[in-house]
Amino acid sequence: MTHDRSISLRPLFLVLLLALGLRLAFFQGFAFSDDAHYAWLAAHPGAQFGVDYPGYPVMPLRVGHLFLLGLSQHWFGPGDWGLAFFPLMFSLAMIAIAWRLGCLLGGHGHVGNAAALLLALLPVDIALSTLAFADLSAAAMLGLGVWLLLEARHTARHWLRVPGALVLGLSLLWKETVLWLVPVILAIQFGIWLRDFRRGTPLRPDATLLAAGLGILLVLGLESLVYALLHGDPLWRFHQMELNTRLCPDDFFKLGSAKGYATPEERPAALARLLLWSKPKALFLRRNTLFILALALVQLLRRLRRHDPGPQGLWFGGLLLMFLFGSTSLQRYQPLPLDLPWYIYPLFLPAALLAGELLAELPWRRFRWLLAPLLALSLWMCLDFRNYFDHSGLQEVRAAL
């Protein structure tokens, strides 16, 4: 693609129109899955697990998602649009964020255009954009926070660090995956200090990383205070997360679970298989992600060869290591099986930025030839998701109700 420095909003507008059309064409609405739990909780504010609500223990913790879901159900009623409105808005917003970050970090509009197009065509995002799952909205909140922080860093509008840090912290109230960003922030800061130590320069905290960490800690601290007042337990969130792994063992790598191992003796082999085969395969060889994580990894390796990972490379690479090797438990090493593609939602935005860089280096003629197969694969996978959520069966359920 031609590398001029002009940045036009017209491609973003066209990509958003394409994205909206695809998301309406494959509209999901009620899937009677996790969304049913969220819909009930949104309609019953203050419901407590074990008292009023018998579902997943972690779902009542996601109060940001529940608040917006309750708001949209108030506006549109307890139907499909009452569930789908905000996920659709978050999906389109994440595409716009990808475009802006691509332009900002890539230095020209073509990176932003390619990144936005990849997210617009991403089958996982198309499927979840009209489902009331928390994963998309949480990833969009996280992405919004990171964008504001990077916008502050690269444009010298330092006041943007405040809303950026707050939004990043507030994403915890949509889903707890932002906590996996904390070790990434610490590792990057340690790397900066190590570099400065070798250069003999003073060791100072990076302003962007400091703001990100403080934003997460502020929201976590205020939430802990609220839970201490409500439940007498400032660590209520973490205890509920541990309870979730005990009551829903088949979703985790545990003894006797469907995604774990049958006997303690089998754990080492099962763990090696999960870390070295199942998780890499789920990350890099999934058709319903358009292989953007594999493309992103290629671009990250190219950047590392130049000793310039960039913010997008550190963001993607850090989260990638956490999804590969991180633990869902603080009490034992319990890696997360990645059998469902929306588990890795926080990776999609930084992956689109890196993959967009790679595609933006292609001549326009070659890039144009990629569009047809990308669109065909996207449509095929969207139909596959439609079958996965049993769309015809759901229509019968709706008719019966």
pLDDT of 193-203, one tens digit each? 999 999 999 99
pLDDT of residue 1: 45
Average pLDDT, the chain: 92
Of 394 and 274, the one with more pLDDT: 274
Res 372: pLDDT:
92
Q: Which pLDDT does position 30 carry in this prediction?
A: 86
Token look-up 């959520």 returns 389
Element (H, E) at 272: helix 267-273
pLDDT tens, residue by residue, 249-284: 888 999 999 899 999 999 999 999 999 999 999 999
**C-alpha separations of 341 from 118, 122, 190 in Å:** 16, 11, 31
Q: Where are the domains of the chain?
A: 10-400
Q: Which two tokens stand for residue 70?
A: 């309750």
Rounded CA gap, 162 and 278, in Å? Answer: 39
Question: What is the tens place of the pLDDT at every residue in 153-194?
Answer: 999 999 999 999 999 999 999 999 999 999 999 999 999 999
SS3 call for 331? coil
The whole-number pLDDT of residue 4 equals 43
**What is the C-alpha separation between 167 and 162, in angstroms, rounded?**
9
Whole-number Å distance between alpha carbons of 118 and 94: 11
Of residues 386 and 346, which shows the higher confidence score?
346
Contact 283, 339 (CB under 8 A): no
Instruction: Please say if the pLDDT value at position 79 is more than 90.
Output: no
**Pair of tokens at residue 263:** 């006997």
Residue 384, token pair as written in the block: 């596959």
CB 175, CB 134: distance < 8 Å: yes
Both ends of the chain: CA-CA distance in Å?
52
Q: What pLDDT, on a 0 to 100 scale, did the predictor assign at position 221?
A: 98
pLDDT of 202: 92
pLDDT in tens, 36-76: 999 999 998 877 766 777 889 999 999 999 999 999 999 99
pTM given for the model:
0.93
Residue 233 pLDDT exceeds 80: yes
Q: What tokens does 399 get?
A: 């008719």
Cα–Cα distance between 39 and 79 in angstroms, integer? 10
What H or E segment, with its residue span, contains residue 302?
helix 292-305
Give which of 160, 138, 224, 216 is closest to 184, Cα–Cα.
216
* pLDDT of amino acid 395: 60
8 Å CB contact between 197 and 247: no
Give the C-alpha separation, 185 to 207, whole Å: 12
> What pLDDT score was predicted for residue 283?
97
pLDDT(2) > 50: no
User: Rounded to whole angstroms, how far apart are CA atoms 129 and 123?
Assistant: 10
Angle, CA 232 vertex, CA 231 and CA 236 arms, to 5°: 60
Report how far residue 97's alpha carbon sits from residue 149's, in angstroms, rounded to the nearest whole number: 12
Query: Residues 315-341: what's their mean pLDDT?
Result: 94
Residue 390 pLDDT > 80: no
Radius of gyration of the chain (CA): 21
Cβ neighbours of residue 211 closer than 8 Å, sequence gap 6 or more: 149, 152, 161, 162, 164, 165
